[in-house]
């Protein structure tokens, strides 16, 4: 086994972590390095905001030793310091995804062309399948749910599996759910974003009503407040699972159920993206919004959407 390592610093929510892991796995294969993940340092800095989520998958990697993690506030400062001077190194210790002044990134085919140190630390969101398309099968196999047998007993599973199911997601409170630094217009922006999603979803529903026979719509949301005014519960199944589960987590259960839908109305959400991407239904149709659908929200990667997903 090679002595060179690629250490991925995971952060943010489950969908983001899945993109990071997929890119990191692909890079480790291309660079022929041991693949290690840092499951602590980013989450301990941002307490109560996010946590390591991928332990409910069957991943083919190891957790990095604490010596290879920048833990605590001192570790945070040390990491920042090393990254500044790394710009002048011939062999880089850090591989960081580039983002422009508007914090937008895109696929970089030359990302791995530099010389790297024995221990290479990887940071970024890498929210495009272009980074891991070559290893798609291996990654999908690793994103198998450990508790799938238990999840199949969920009351929604057979409804989704045995119908011409269409998955729908609505993300509410997008700008106002932050723990700190809320601005006076964040609530207005969140409300506007919710309405724009609803308009887009309504358009997608019209499309599916014409495209497939007897569609059955299933709705996921982080907050169902007022959604019944737009989506009648007589015709839409609201996926509402308890926050506490006997086995596994609610978010993994929700993702598992989503992957079993046949068709998808996808919003700019990494969680929703992976739900559609992991679906193995051969004739699935995935509908996604164009870049002009939302006034105050921009997708952070220009190559976010797979080419075979239909733009509405």
Which residues is 238 bridged to in the sheet?
219
Answer yes or no: do 123 and 158 share one domain: no
Answer yes or no: do 28 and 160 share one domain: no
Please report where in the chains the tokens 């509405």 appear, as a residue.
312
Whole-number average pLDDT of the chain: 94
Full-model pTM: 0.95
Split into its structural domains, the chain has a count of 2
Residue 177 has pLDDT above 80, yes or no: no
Distance between CA 131 and CA 141 in Å, rounded? Answer: 17
Answer yes or no: do 40 and 101 share one domain: yes
| DSSP line for 4-62 | -EEEEE--SSHHHHHHHHHHHHHHHHHHT-EEEEE-SHHHHHSTTT----GGGB--SSE
Using a pLDDT cut of 70, give the percent of the chain over it.
Answer: 96
Answer yes or no: do 258 and 188 share one domain: yes
Q: How confident is the model at residue 48 (pLDDT cuts 50, 70, 90)?
A: low
Contact 40, 28 (CB under 8 A): no
- pLDDT in the model for residue 3: 86
Answer yes or no: do 86 and 61 share one domain: yes
Question: Which one, of 238, 240, 233, lies nearest residue 167 by Cα?
Answer: 238
Q: What is the domain range of residue 177?
A: 147-311
Answer yes or no: do 195 and 97 share one domain: no
Answer yes or no: do 243 and 290 share one domain: yes
pLDDT in tens, 197-250: 999 999 999 999 999 999 999 999 999 999 999 999 999 999 999 999 999 999
Q: How confident is the model at residue 184 (pLDDT cuts 50, 70, 90)?
A: low
Answer yes or no: do 135 and 158 share one domain: no
Residue 1 has pLDDT above 60, yes or no: no
Answer yes or no: do 126 and 9 share one domain: yes
- pLDDT in the model for residue 45: 74
Tokens representing 285?
Answer: 């149709």
Distance between CA 124 and CA 136 in Å, rounded? Answer: 19
């Amino acid at each position: 086994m090679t002595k060179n390592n690629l250490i991925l610093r995971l952060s943010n929510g489950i969908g983001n972590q899945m993109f990071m892991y997929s890119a990191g796995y692909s890079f480790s294969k291309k660079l022929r390095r041991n693949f290690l993940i840092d499951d602590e340092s980013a989450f301990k800095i941002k307490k109560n905001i996010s946590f390591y989520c991928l332990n409910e998958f069957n991943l083919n990697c190891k957790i990095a030793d604490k010596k290879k993690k920048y833990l605590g506030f001192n570790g945070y400062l040390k990491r920042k310091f090393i990254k500044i001077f790394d710009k002048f190194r011939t062999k880089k210790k850090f591989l960081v995804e580039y983002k422009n002044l508007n914090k937008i990134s895109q696929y970089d085919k030359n990302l791995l062309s530099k010389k790297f140190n024995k221990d290479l630390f990887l940071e970024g969101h890498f929210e495009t399948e272009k980074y891991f398309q070559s290893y798609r099968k291996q990654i999908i196999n690793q994103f198998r749910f450990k508790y799938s047998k238990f999840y199949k007993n969920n009351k929604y599973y057979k409804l989704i599996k045995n119908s011409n199911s269409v998955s729908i997601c609505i993300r509410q409170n997008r700008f106002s759910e932050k723990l700190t630094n809320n601005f006076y217009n964040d609530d207005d922006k969140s409300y506007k974003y919710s309405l724009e999603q609803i308009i887009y979803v309504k358009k997608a529903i019209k499309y599916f009503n014409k495209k497939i026979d007897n569609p059955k719509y299933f709705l996921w949301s982080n907050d169902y407040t007022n959604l019944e005014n737009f989506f009648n519960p007589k015709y839409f199944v609201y996926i509402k699972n308890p926050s506490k589960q006997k086995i596994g987590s609610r978010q993994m259960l929700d993702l598992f159920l989503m992957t079993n839908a046949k068709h998808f109305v996808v919003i700019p959400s990494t969680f929703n993206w992976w739900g559609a991407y992991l679906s193995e239904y051969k004739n699935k149709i995935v509908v996604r919004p164009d870049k002009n659908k939302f006034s105050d929200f921009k997708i952070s990667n220009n190559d976010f959407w797979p080419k075979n997903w239909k733009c509405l």
